[in-house]
Amino acid sequence: MGYSKSVYDRADRILNERRLSAQRNAEKLRLAFYEANPKALEIEEQLSHTFTEIARTVMSGDKEQLEKIKEKNLALQQELNRLYDEAGVSEKALSPHYVCEKCSDKGNIDGVVCQCYEKLVKQIACDDLNRRSPLSLCDFESFELKYYPEENRRKMSNIFNYCVEYANTFSQSSDSIVMTGGTGLGKTHLALSIANRVINNGSGVIYISAPEMVSALEEYQFGREPSSTEITARILSECDLLIIDDLGTEFVTAFSKSAVYNVFNLRITKGKPTIISTNLSIAELEKNYTDRFVSRISGYCRILFFEGSDIRIQKKMEERQK
């Protein structure tokens, strides 16, 4: 790992809030229980008293006395359990419910970083980049095949099913995908639906448009912390799924060409899936980008050809007729 300090600070804050809120909720439940069962509070106090007694008697070596106190302790415990049963609660239900039971939301187990913390840091770093995307997340449920002409519907239905299956079974060994086709054919809708489902299933997804990605990679920042370019490049290459929307709409320069290629290539070498959506045909991609980029795409990606007529125009016409 190696993100900016602010990412770690936010992760620490979130964990703190999680832990405190679990403890506060447990405390509230416990107080409510004592209020309804004052006897239980009395017993708890007696119990803590007998524990001190036990410790003292062990020191004195009086075995007979020790047995007596142990019996008393057991009886109190049984009485308390009976009160719990009567109230329909358990000791466990009144204890804090942490988001991560392994580390009790502390973020480490005996000084070793817990997985929940690593996941949180990654998620915050991904969210930072996703905030650049002006689009809200779509879902598969709102995708409608009726907008595709009869002759394209079967093919689009296959693409739709492939995307649903892809999102449901997403893993680090999933394919990389290129979605190509004209404007308004549902590429962005399906790409966002995949992002939505994959995020819900717990993976780190970055959804970013090609212009945003290029400008994020162009930003420089000097200081003691690693430059934002460096951090951005690392997050882009490390997230579980990177979705680059609208490739070809960025201002194409020597820098942008090599930036896009480098990110994509780095992910291939790390074995991480990427989805690219573009209005450009493969021939146009060849014209606008380097040969090695296009040959990488053809070699490593499943290419989905979107067909039909602009759905956005159809929807607008429908609305006007209403």
Strands 108-109 and 112-113: antiparallel
| Distances from the Cα of 233 to the Cα of 3, 58, 207, 263, angstroms | 11, 63, 14, 7
317 token code pair:
């016409």
Task: Assess 100 for contact with Zn ion (CB under 5 A).
Answer: yes
- In whole angstroms, the minimum distance from the beta carbon of 9 to Zn ion comes to 18
Buried b (16+ CB within 10 A) or exposed e, 293-317: bbebbeebbeebebebeebeeeeee
Q: Quick one: angle between helices 210-218 and 254-270, nearest 10? A: 100
- In whole angstroms, the minimum distance from the beta carbon of 103 to Zn ion comes to 3
- In whole angstroms, the minimum distance from the beta carbon of 114 to Zn ion comes to 3
Among the listed ranges 106-114, 154-162, 180-188, 302-310, the one in contact with Zn ion (CB under 5 A) is: 106-114
Nearer to Zn ion, 100 or 190 (CB): 100
Among the listed ranges 38-46, 100-108, 119-127, 267-275, the one in contact with Zn ion (CB under 5 A) is: 100-108
The answer for residues whose C-beta is within 8 angstroms of residue 47's C-beta and 6 or more apart is: 73, 76, 77, 80
- In whole angstroms, the minimum distance from the beta carbon of 95 to Zn ion comes to 17
- In whole angstroms, the minimum distance from the beta carbon of 202 to Zn ion comes to 14
Which of 11, 15, 103, 239 touches Zn ion (CB under 5 A)? 103
Nearer to Zn ion, 11 or 116 (CB): 116
Nearer to Zn ion, 186 or 204 (CB): 204
Nearer to Zn ion, 114 or 275 (CB): 114
Among the listed ranges 47-55, 69-77, 101-109, 123-131, the one in contact with Zn ion (CB under 5 A) is: 101-109
As a whole number of angstroms, the distance between CA 36 and CA 40 comes to 9
CA end-to-end span of the chain: 54
Q: Where are the alpha helices (DSSP H) in the chain?
A: 5-36, 38-60, 63-87, 115-130, 150-168, 187-200, 210-218, 228-238, 254-270, 282-288, 291-300, 311-321
Nearer to Zn ion, 114 or 297 (CB): 114
Nearer to Zn ion, 107 or 186 (CB): 107
Among the listed ranges 13-21, 48-56, 109-117, 246-254, the one in contact with Zn ion (CB under 5 A) is: 109-117
Task: Assess 15 for contact with Zn ion (CB under 5 A).
Answer: no
Task: Assess 114 for contact with Zn ion (CB under 5 A).
Answer: yes
Among the listed ranges 40-48, 70-78, 113-121, 252-260, the one in contact with Zn ion (CB under 5 A) is: 113-121
As a whole number of angstroms, the distance between CA 63 and CA 68 comes to 9
Nearer to Zn ion, 18 or 197 (CB): 18
Strands 241-247 and 176-180: unpaired
As a whole number of angstroms, the distance between CA 136 and CA 129 comes to 14
Task: Assess 116 for contact with Zn ion (CB under 5 A).
Answer: yes
- Which positions touch Zn ion (CB under 5 A)? 100, 102-103, 114, 116
